[in-house]
């Protein structure tokens, strides 16, 4: 056991190794990025790891989500639980917490408290912006990471130093490209998490990080780096001089309500905007059936669900009374709007 971290300690130094061992990291999401970074951090001996995920393990995860096994799929284990089980086999000397929860603006602050670093392993922008608000509010570095296909990007949000994600975005993108419809190969996952975990180790040991947005396409062999210092916005509602942390506010949460007796769930998006229903309908052709449009709404059958989508982004998902399923179907449908 004494030699367990010897190679890392030779590189980092004794003092820094101690800092790693007394450090704590929370990973938001336990899919591909979350599995990969959790394993590296557990092996590195980070004292406390918290893993948050709302989903369970499926066959299509095994190609890249390295903590899971066929048995986890058969047992339909929640990812956070299965991840903890595997990580404890890898390193029994650290404290591993799993939270089987859906992250939203009203629970994120409680989750991140007491951690030194937050790693982004979510699969959508809405959640990233929520975590970003909480990270800046509680002054905890937040390492963004994302990937699809063979492309990935990273950016370290260091509160009071770098711009935050909100500085970069004028509005909440509905572009929800996720691995589910676009596909992804595992090497890009490893490249993104290699960068994220390096940042995490640097933060834990007190090393400096530059505010550089990095992207990489493994297949096309392209990479880019942009220093984002100039984008720090002093009027940013999250990290500016008068922050309001909009994504943590109750009224800005995506809301879903089960419609009693109708086997349907109503979804109301976090931010209001006007959708061009004609454009949406064109993009849905071939991906949805029974398309019908009027000046107020668009109706279609998408997979096994009938969806009625209103101009303001509100929707009713028929065929389920499970809010989680409805939200997921809603997000998948919206991908076509900006595809």
Partner 1 sequence: MKFQLNGKQVELPEVVDSVGELLAHYQLQSRIAVVEVNKEIVMKEEYETKRLFNGDIVEIIHFVGGG
Distance CA 284, CA 294 (A): 15
* Binding-site string for partner 1 from residue 163 to residue 192, where x marks contact by CB under 8 A and - marks none: -----xxx--x-xxxxx--x-x--------
Residue from 161, 194, 228, 325 in contact with partner 1 (CB under 8 A):
228
Give the dihedral of Cα atoms 198, 199, 205, 206; nearest 10 deg: 150
72 is a site residue for partner 1 (CB under 8 A): no
Beta carbon of residue 290, minimum distance to partner 1 (angstroms, whole number): 26
Residue from 74, 113, 223, 273 in contact with partner 1 (CB under 8 A):
223
| 179 flagged as catalytic | yes
* Binding-site string for partner 1 from residue 20 to residue 59, where x marks contact by CB under 8 A and - marks none: ---------x-xxxx-------------------------
Give DSSP secondary structure letters for 297-325.
Answer: EEEEEETTEEEEEETTS-EEEES---HHH
Distance CA 127, CA 149 (A): 20
Burial 105-121 (b: 16+ CB within 10 A, else e): beebbebbeebbbbbbb
Q: Which is nearer to partner 1, 105 or 145 (CB)?
A: 145
Contacts of 8 (CB under 8 A, 6+ apart): 17, 20, 44, 45
* Binding-site string for partner 1 from residue 93 to residue 122, where x marks contact by CB under 8 A and - marks none: ---------------------------xxx
DSSP lists the bridge partners of residue 27 as: 51, 119
C-alpha torsion sign, points 66, 72, 74, 77: negative
Residue from 69, 97, 205, 215 in contact with partner 1 (CB under 8 A):
215
Query: Which region among 38-46, 67-75, 145-153, 246-254 touches partner 1 (by CB under 8 A)?
Result: 145-153
Beta carbon of residue 15, minimum distance to partner 1 (angstroms, whole number): 33
Catalytic residues: 179
Residues that bind partner 1 (CB under 8 A): 29, 31-34, 120-125, 145-148, 151-153, 168-170, 173, 175-179, 182, 184, 213-215, 217, 222-226, 228, 230-231, 338
């Amino acid at each position: 056991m004494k030699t367990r971290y010897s190679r890392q300690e030779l590189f980092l130094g004794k003092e820094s190794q101690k800092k790693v061992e007394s450090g704590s990291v929370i990973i938001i999401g336990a899919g591909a990025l979350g599995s990969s970074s959790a394993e590296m951090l557990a092996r590195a001996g980070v004292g406390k790891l918290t893993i948050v995920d709302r989903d369970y393990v499926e066959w299509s995860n095994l190609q890249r989500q390295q903590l899971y096994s066929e048995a986890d799929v058969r047992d339909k284990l929640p990812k956070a639980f299965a991840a903890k089980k595997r990580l404890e086999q890898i390193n029994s000397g650290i404290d591993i917490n799993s939270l089987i929860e859906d992250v939203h603006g009203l629970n994120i602050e409680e989750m991140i408290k007491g951690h030194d670093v937050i790693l982004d392993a979510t699969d959508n922008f809405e959640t990233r912006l929520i975590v970003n608000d909480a990270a800046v509010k509680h002054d905890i570095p937040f390492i963004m990471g994302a990937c699809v296909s063979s492309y990935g990007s990273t950016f370290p949000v260091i509160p009071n130093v770098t711009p935050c994600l909100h500085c970069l975005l004028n509005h909440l993108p509905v572009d929800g490209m996720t691995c589910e419809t676009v596909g992804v190969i595992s090497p890009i996952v490893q490249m993104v998490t290699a960068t994220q975990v390096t940042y995490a180790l640097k933060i834990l040991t007190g090393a400096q990080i530059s505010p550089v947005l990095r992207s990489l396409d493994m297949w096309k062999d392209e990479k880019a780096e942009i220093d984002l210092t100039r984008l720090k916005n002093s009027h940013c509602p999250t990290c500016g001089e008068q922050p309001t942390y909009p994504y943590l506010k109750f009224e800005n949460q995506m809301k879903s309500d089960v419609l009693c007796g109708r086997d349907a769930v109503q979804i109301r998006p976090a931010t209001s905007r006007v959708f061009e229903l004609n454009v949406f309908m064109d993009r849905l052709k071939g991906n949805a059936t029974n398309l019908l449009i009027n000046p107020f709404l668009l109706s279609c059958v998408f997979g096994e669900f009938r969806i009625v989508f209103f101009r303001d982004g509100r929707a009713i998902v028929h065929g389920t009374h499970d809010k989680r399923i409805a939200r997921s179907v809603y997000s998948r449908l919206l991908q076509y709007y900006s595809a």
